[in-house]
């Protein structure tokens, strides 16, 4: 049994309380490799922003859960080396699907876990979430649950109102499970294709898709976590498409909607796809411009720099978490 406190990590309790009071949101960035982790820590150290490092099922398969956990431990030391005296870094399991997986993460030094029972019937979601909460809370590990189906997890489904979280279930669910935070569905979804073109209008000047607004009325009821919050920056989509890529009609959540969410009852905003886009755009550009290049550091380095820029932009211009972890 490894306690996250011995690794210099923190849980989300104090982070979220301060974020709600202060009208900002904590960034939750997924990481799968060293360059992403370096970029996240550099951006957070330079802006003094608290951060949640997320490990997804895809990341566990790709990079190995043990290795990722040791990388997060190393990230605390790296943050200090960068001059961040009191780093506030949480290591979080993203979309845990079983009690056993959540338990193994708690036992191995994660400071927060998500149990995603959103695909289960309501009562089964409650029972599973409660079991995880009872175990995790013994070790002061915080638990995120999910209510409402986040469209987009299934490849051919995009944001649809019928799956939105029912406000009347939220208090009942939170009280009966004891979860610390709740991922809700208000129109966001995972990935770089969050809406079908027919759900959007088209900007007549640029020809780009303009998505429908999020369902902010659901939000007013409780404190929330927002998954699927990438904005899918069109400059990255354009760089990718003009350097051999093919991402037609990729569309995300506009940043003004996310700013509004961060200022309200949303305390955690999840971003993964934007980092993938920044990375891919930078790599494609270098390889297209310098076809003789074969040293991965020559294209992963610029990709890392681009991700630092992206993370700092999110922290300062969208979430407002800069300066909140001095």
Dist CA 146 CA 189 (whole Å): 13
Q: Are strands 112-115 and 89-96 parallel, antiparallel or unpaired?
A: parallel
Per-residue interface string for the shown chain with ligand 13P, residues 279-318, x marking contact by CB under 6 A: ----------------------------------------
Element (H, E) at 266: strand 266-271
Site membership for ligand 13P, residue 270 (CB under 6 A): yes
Residues 6+ apart with CB under 8 A from 14: none
According to DSSP, residue 192 is labeled S
Contact (Cβ atoms closer than 8 angstroms) between residue 270 and residue 229: yes
- Which candidate in 21, 94, 97, 155 is catalytic? 94
Beta-bridge partner residues of 268 = 26, 225
Please provide the size of the chain in residues. Answer: 326
Selection from Zn ion, ligand G3H, ligand 13P, none that 180 binds (CB < 5 to 8 A by kind) is none
Per-residue interface string for the shown chain with ligand G3H, residues 257-276, x marking contact by CB under 6 A: ---------------x----
Among 273, 278, 310, 315, binds ligand 13P (CB under 6 A): 273
Per-residue interface string for the shown chain with ligand G3H, residues 92-131, x marking contact by CB under 6 A: --xx------------------------------------
Contact (Cβ atoms closer than 8 angstroms) between residue 88 and residue 10: yes
Nearer to ligand 13P, 88 or 275 (CB): 275
Q: Is 94 a catalytic residue?
A: yes
Kindly list the residues in this chain that would bind ligand G3H in the complex (CB under 6 A): 30, 56-59, 94-95, 190, 272
Return the active site residues. Answer: 94
């Amino acid at each position: 049994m490894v306690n996250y406190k011995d690794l210099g990590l923190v849980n989300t309790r104090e982070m979220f309380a301060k974020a709600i009071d202060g009208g900002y949101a904590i960034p939750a960035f997924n990481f799968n490799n060293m360059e992403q982790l370096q970029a996240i820590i550099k951006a957070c150290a330079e802006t003094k922003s608290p951060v949640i490092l997320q490990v997804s099922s895809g990341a566990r398969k790709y990079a190995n859960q043990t290795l990722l956990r040791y990388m997060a431990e190393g990230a605390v030391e790296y943050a200090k080396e960068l001059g961040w005296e009191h780093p506030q870094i949480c290591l979080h399991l993203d979309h845990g699907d079983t009690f056993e997986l959540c338990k193994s993460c708690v036992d191995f030094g994660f400071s927060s876990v998500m149990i995603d029972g959103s695909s289960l019937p309501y009562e089964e979601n409650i029972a599973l979430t409660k079991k995880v909460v009872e175990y995790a809370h013994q070790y002061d590990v915080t638990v995120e649950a999910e209510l409402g189906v986040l469209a987009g997890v299934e490849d051919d489904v995009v944001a649809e109102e019928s799956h939105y979280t029912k406000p009347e279930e939220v208090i009942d669910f939170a009280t009966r499970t004891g979860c610390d935070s709740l991922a809700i569905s208000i129109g966001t979804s995972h990935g770089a294709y969050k809406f079908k073109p027919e759900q959007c209008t088209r900007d007549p000047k640029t020809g780009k898709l303009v998505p429908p607004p999020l369902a902010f009325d659901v939000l007013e009821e409780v404190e929330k976590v927002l998954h699927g919050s990438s904005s899918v920056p069109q400059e990255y989509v354009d760089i990718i498409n003009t350097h051999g890529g093919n991402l037609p009609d990729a569309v995300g959540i506009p940043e003004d909607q996310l700013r509004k969410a961060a200022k309200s009852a949303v305390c955690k905003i999840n971003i993964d796809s934007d980092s993938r886009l920044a990375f891919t755009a930078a790599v494609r550009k270098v390889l297209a411009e310098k076809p003789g290049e074969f040293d991965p550091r020559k294209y992963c380095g610029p990709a890392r720099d681009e991700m630092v820029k992206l993370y700092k932009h999110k922290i300062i211009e969208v979430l407002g978490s800069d300066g909140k972890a001095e």
